[in-house]
């Protein structure tokens, strides 16, 4: 080998140089073709040029967002599934004999229209909403719903841990499958990478079905770590639905010392809004498995209207033409006249959302942002700190939750409107991930969320603009470096 290199090292070096040039130029062309945002295109171009071979590899793994074979495939599957699901009886959608939908208050009509785009869902009336602010109470409610299932259980989570909490859900799903309930379980292949297929054997042996979403090591999907399914959905018998910020794992019930107390927000909904959650799940399931589950058994006729809340499910992903979750956040912030309160562990949004918050702060709206004190992802945390000064300068109050892990994801506006779900206020949730939120047009439900928000502030540290401005130069440098990765955070 040494003799070969001594004789042909110049040829080897020449071929390697040529390979580097071809890879760099090819990657730059891909960057220019795929990246619409100028800053994102510039950042990736610099990475490709300044980091030979490493930069192109990073772009191959992290850079693809909206144009790729998996996304085109999912768009095709969505159209196919919607055509297959079109045979659901019309009365199953609203409930035969159900009261007509109550009108959305005029000031929120714009938000309702934005969320009800061609791929979206309408506002539904007659829903009952129950909020959970701790993982254990939410888990108990979900496990109870699974135990009462009569026809089907559809469950979808980004993270599913092989720990005590995960085993509790596996046991509940296995028992449901054994008594003849249809069980469909979808997990994200990256979020649940630590979970072995052995954990799910009992479910499958009992007749349930389990599938991963966009397997990372499948070459068909180009080894993408982006484009993840970040949704958290549970639907039982088409009548009861759950969604929010909780995944399944011991940390979400405060049993992992690294995180300590875990603060999250999840909700249970009964009523017509469950149909929308059902459709989101079944579309994802069809993409992952090619099974098109459809029919009135999944969309019950005579669906009860047990409450008075107006609820609208909004979902988005890189395959969607409308970035509906981002649009609802953006428009919701701009509709605020008195207060805009936000809880999100990660704050790395695009320029438009940042501008909306800054303008609201300058206009005298009471804008408050509640985020982490002890981060679990340091790069995202440092990138968020880079953007805090513009918020503080505009009069926005920034708080860090110091009791433990703050994982809630919600937006509250003027005590009348709320968005609760899986989407963080960062580019990954708003542009890259598959997300699902519930928009709530109900002052009573919003009041409960506001009360919890104020309680969380009692456990939080408010950022002092002057003190923060005096932070060390090393911290500023780290923040500046982290924000360069903001397009994928």
- pLDDT tens digits along 389-426: 999 999 999 999 999 999 999 999 999 999 999 999 99
Distance, in Å, from the CA atom of 243 to the CA atom of 177, rounded to the nearest integer, reads 22
Q: Give Cα 162 distance to the centre of its chain.
A: 21
Question: Residue 309 has which token pair?
Answer: 């809340």
Task: Please tell me the predicted confidence (pLDDT) of residue 218.
Answer: 58
Question: Do 310 and 102 form a contact (C-beta atoms < 8 A)?
Answer: yes
Query: For a pLDDT cut of 70, what percent of the chain falls above it?
Result: 82
Question: Residue 80 has which token pair?
Answer: 């196919």
Q: Which one of 284, 350, 414, 426 is the catalytic residue?
A: 414
pLDDT, tens digit (0-9, with 9 covering 90-100), for 364-383: 999 999 999 999 889 999 99
- Of 222-226, 267-271, 276-280, 379-383, the one with minimum mean pLDDT is 222-226
Question: Do 31 and 59 form a contact (C-beta atoms < 8 A)?
Answer: yes
Q: Give the burial class of 324: count Cβ atoms within 10 A of its Cβ; 0-12 exposed, 13-18 middle, 19 or more buried.
A: buried
376 in catalytic set: no
Q: Which one of 237, 284, 319, 426 is the catalytic residue?
A: 237
pLDDT, tens digit (0-9, with 9 covering 90-100), for 225-239: 667 899 999 999 999
Q: Which one of 232, 266, 286, 305 is the catalytic residue?
A: 232
Mean pLDDT within 130-137: 97
Q: Which one of 35, 152, 154, 230 is the catalytic residue?
A: 230
Task: Please tell me the predicted confidence (pLDDT) of residue 90.
Answer: 43
CATH class of 69-105+126-306: alpha beta
User: Which bin fits 302, alpha (ψ -120 to 50), beta or left (φ > 0)?
Assistant: left
Residue appearing with tokens 């009261």: 99
Q: Give Cα 204 distance to the centre of its chain.
A: 27
CATH class of 324-488: alpha beta
Decide if pLDDT at 204 tops 70: yes
Task: Please tell me the predicted confidence (pLDDT) of residue 39.
Answer: 60
Q: Which one of 407, 426, 442, 456 is the catalytic residue?
A: 407
Question: Residue 441 has which token pair?
Answer: 């047009």
Question: Do 186 and 213 form a contact (C-beta atoms < 8 A)?
Answer: yes
Report the run of H or E that residue 94 belongs to, with start and end.
Answer: helix 91-94
Decide if pLDDT at 67 tops 50: no
Axis crossing angle, helix 135-147 with helix 164-178, rounded to the nearest 10: 10
Q: Give Cα 412 distance to the centre of its chain.
A: 17
Question: Do 261 and 283 form a contact (C-beta atoms < 8 A)?
Answer: no
Torsion of the alpha carbons at 84, 85, 90 and 93, rounded to the nearest 10? -170
116 in catalytic set: no
pLDDT, tens digit (0-9, with 9 covering 90-100), for 243-264: 999 999 999 999 999 999 999 9
74 in catalytic set: no
pLDDT, tens digit (0-9, with 9 covering 90-100), for 282-306: 999 999 999 988 888 999 877 778 9
414 in catalytic set: yes
What b-and-e string marks burial along 43-65, b requiring 16 or more CB atoms within 10 Å of the CB? bbbebbeeeeeebbebbeebbbb
232 in catalytic set: yes
Q: Are strands 339-343 and 366-372 parallel, antiparallel or unpaired?
A: parallel
Decide if pLDDT at 97 tops 50: no
154 in catalytic set: no
Decide if pLDDT at 27 tops 50: yes
Question: Residue 150 has which token pair?
Answer: 């009569």
Confidence of residue 100 (pLDDT cuts 50, 70, 90): very low
Q: Which one of 409, 426, 442, 456 is the catalytic residue?
A: 409
Mean pLDDT within 199-212: 96
Helix ranges (DSSP H) in 260-398: 273-289, 324-335, 351-362, 378-393
DSSP assignment string, 130-191? EEE-SHHHHHHHHHHHHHT-SSEEEEEES-B-SSHHHHHHHHHHHHHHHTT-EEEEEEETTT
């Amino acid at each position: 080998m040494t003799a070969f290199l001594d004789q042909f090292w110049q040829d080897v070096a020449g071929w390697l140089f040529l390979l580097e040039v071809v890879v760099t130029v090819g990657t730059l062309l891909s960057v220019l073709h795929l990246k619409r945002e100028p800053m994102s295109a510039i950042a990736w171009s610099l990475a490709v040029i300044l980091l030979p071979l490493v930069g192109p590899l990073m772009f191959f793994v992290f850079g693809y967002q909206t144009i790729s074979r998996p996304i085109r495939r999912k768009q095709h599957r969505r159209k196919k599934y919607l055509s297959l699901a079109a045979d659901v009886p019309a009365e199953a959608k609203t409930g035969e004999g159900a009261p007509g939908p109550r009108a959305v208050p005029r000031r929120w009509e714009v938000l309702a229209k934005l969320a009800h785009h061609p791929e979206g869902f309408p506002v539904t009336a007659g829903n009952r909403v129950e909020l959970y602010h701790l993982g254990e109470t939410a888990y108990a409610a979900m496990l109870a719903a699974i135990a009462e299932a009569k026809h089907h259980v559809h469950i979808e989570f980004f993270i599913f841990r092989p720990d005590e909490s995960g085993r509790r859900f596996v046991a509940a799903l296995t028992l449901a499958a054994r008594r003849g309930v249809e069980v469909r379980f979808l997990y994200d292949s990256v979020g649940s990478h630590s979970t072995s297929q052995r954990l799910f054997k009992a479910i499958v042996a009992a007749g349930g079905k389990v599938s991963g979403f966009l397997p990372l090591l499948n070459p068909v999907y180009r080894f993408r770590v982006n484009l993840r399914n970040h949704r958290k959905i549970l639907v039982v018998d088409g009548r009861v639905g759950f969604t929010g910020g909780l995944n399944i794992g011991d940390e979400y019930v405060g049993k992992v010392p690294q995180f300590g107390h875990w603060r999250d927000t999840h909700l249970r909904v009964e009523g017509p809004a469950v149909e929308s959650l059902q459709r989101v799940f079944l579309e994802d399931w069809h993409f992952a498995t090619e099974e098109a589950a459809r029919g009135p058994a999944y969309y019950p006729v005579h669906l009860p209207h047990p409450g008075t809340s107006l609820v609208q499910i909004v979902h988005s992903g890189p395959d969607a033409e409308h970035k509906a979750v981002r649009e609802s956040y953006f428009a919701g912030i701009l509709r605020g006249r008195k207060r805009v309160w936000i809880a999100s562990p990660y704050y790395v949004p695009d320029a438009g959302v940042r501008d909306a918050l800054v303008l609201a702060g300058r206009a005298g709206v009471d804008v408050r942002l509640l985020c982490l004190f002890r981060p679990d992802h340091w790069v995202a945390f440092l990138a968020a700190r880079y953007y805090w000064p513009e918020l503080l300068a505009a009069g926005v109050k920034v708080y860090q939750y110091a009791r433990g892990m703050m994982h809630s994801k919600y937006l509250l506006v003027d005590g009348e409107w709320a968005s609760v779900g899986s989407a963080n206020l960062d580019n990954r949730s708003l542009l890259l991930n598959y997300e699902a939120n519930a928009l709530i047009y109900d002052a009573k439900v919003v009041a409960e969320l506001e009360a919890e928000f104020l309680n969380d502030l009692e456990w939080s540290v408010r950022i002092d603009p002057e003190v923060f401005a005096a932070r060390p130069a090393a911290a500023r440098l780290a923040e500046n470096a982290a924000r360069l990765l903001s397009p994928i955070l």
